[in-house]
Copies of this chain bind each other. A is one copy, B any other.
Amino acid sequence: MTAASGPIRPLYAQASGSPIRAMLALAGQEGMISLAGGHPDPALLPADWLRECLLEVASGVQGRSLQYGATEGLPALRAASAELLRQRGLQAQMEEVLITTGSQQAIDLLARVLMEPGAGIAVEPFNYPAALQAFRFAGAQLVQVPADAQGMNVDRLEAVLTAARPKVLYIVPNFANPTGAVMPLARRLRLLELAVRHGVTLVEDDPYGELWFGEPPPPSLAQLNQQAGSPAQVAYTTSYSKVVAPALRLGMLLAPPDIARAIVLAKQAADVHSGSLEQLTLTAMLASGRLAAHLGMLRQAYALKASALAGALHSHCDGLIEFSEPRGGMFVWAQLGSELPLMSTQAWTDFGLKHRVLAVPGAAFSLHNRAQARLRLSFANPSVEDLREGALRLGRGLRSLQA
């Protein structure tokens, strides 16, 4: 599509669609095994629990419940969300919690209220593509900070902050997408210190923090900041998509008061408020007290899947890829052996069609969409059987690339 002609801003006219979405369109093909999506396993989505609560909501529907609601969110859901945050170690009062249309909206609105067009945002080399897209659409410049298996490399961060002077830093400290990395406590503390010193606002995105397998991750940046007397500006967002259901499109934001005020103004103009039926349903689900047990079940199920994929990769892809065993979240982040060719996203799609196994190449998560010796393999969606078969096909396919 050419940019100069039509009425569309070049920022949007030249933007490419998500390569992951393009790949997911192939996931439904007969016999295809997809390790590509970041979608929960439908079998693990709480259909019965949600149905019961939805029936309860339905019987209580009155004219009043169909009226416009508050931009900040349904008070009862804000209260239940604040309680959840308190259980995770954060200080949070109902009035401080905002309900958003998924944490995606929190990220998007934060980008809009924080990022002056052209301002810099610091990010790791590999990121959740829809967050990068939100930052790009806000006109932000992506500033790359080196990272390793423990997440963002804070020792090298200071030089970046000094040189590029980004105004905001985006981070997923727990089981990041796509890397799966968990940032250790010492790095978190150092990151907060640098944020204060350089006046950088932190956007902490934590969709996966509750999906730990062995032990929970260290305290969130937001919690550590509160414990230190809140010297840093930290906007913390998390989502109900991974722990309850994506279809509800509900997330929450805990941010300093001036940021929260701006977010409410931005949300008034963006969608007025998030859907009331979804908010009522989620409120009923949380009130039922079943979330903790559901989370326990999810952790076990995903841990089993992670271990099945890791085991099968060790069996079938030995010498072809390297990876760390996932400690939570939904992803294995594979480093491709140096004897394998660097391939474009299109080439990986062709590979997937040929070998009947889809995985997302690293380029999709990189800042400039360049080919990388990386693959993201998601264990969340497929069955254990399909994870094993997927690893087998992947090994066979990768071996054929060596030849």
A interface list, Cβ under 8 A from B:
1, 6-9, 12-13, 15, 17-18, 21, 39-40, 42-47, 50-51, 54-55, 57-59, 61-69, 101-102, 104-105, 108, 112-117, 130, 133-134, 137, 139, 167-168, 199, 201, 233, 241, 245-250, 258-259, 261-262, 264-266, 268-278, 281
> Of the candidates B167, B264, B269, B277, which one forms a contact with A7 in the assembled complex, judged by CB atoms under 8 Å apart?
B167
Residues of B within 8 A of A13 (CB): 258, 262
Which residue of chain B is the closest to A244 with respect to CB atoms? B66
The 6 closest A-B pairs by CB, nearest first: A42-B63, A247-B276, A66-B245, A275-B275, A54-B58, A12-B262
This chain's copy number in the assembly: 2
Which residue of chain B is the closest to A282 with respect to CB atoms? B277
Residues of B within 8 A of A50 (CB): 61, 66
Closest beta carbon of chain B to A360's beta carbon, Å: 15
> Of the candidates B46, B68, B259, B274, which one forms a contact with A246 in the assembled complex, judged by CB atoms under 8 Å apart?
B68
**Residue from A13, A67, A116, A276 with most neighbouring chain B CB atoms (10 Å):** A67
Closest beta carbon of chain B to A43's beta carbon, Å: 6
Closest beta carbon of chain B to A269's beta carbon, Å: 4
- Tell me, in angstroms, the Cα distance from A6 to B274 when the chains sit together: 27
CB atoms of A18 and B268 under 8 A apart = yes
- Tell me, in angstroms, the Cα distance from A40 to B281 when the chains sit together: 23
Which residue of chain B is the closest to A64 with respect to CB atoms? B42
Closest beta carbon of chain B to A402's beta carbon, Å: 35
- Tell me, in angstroms, the Cα distance from A104 to B71 when the chains sit together: 13
- Tell me, in angstroms, the Cα distance from A230 to B139 when the chains sit together: 32
- Tell me, in angstroms, the Cα distance from A192 to B201 when the chains sit together: 46
- Tell me, in angstroms, the Cα distance from A277 to B279 when the chains sit together: 10
Residues of B within 8 A of A8 (CB): 113-114, 258-259, 262
- Tell me, in angstroms, the Cα distance from A58 to B270 when the chains sit together: 28
> Of the candidates B66, B133, B167, B259, which one forms a contact with A269 in the assembled complex, judged by CB atoms under 8 Å apart?
B133
CB atoms of B67 and A42 under 8 A apart = yes
- Tell me, in angstroms, the Cα distance from A277 to B61 when the chains sit together: 14
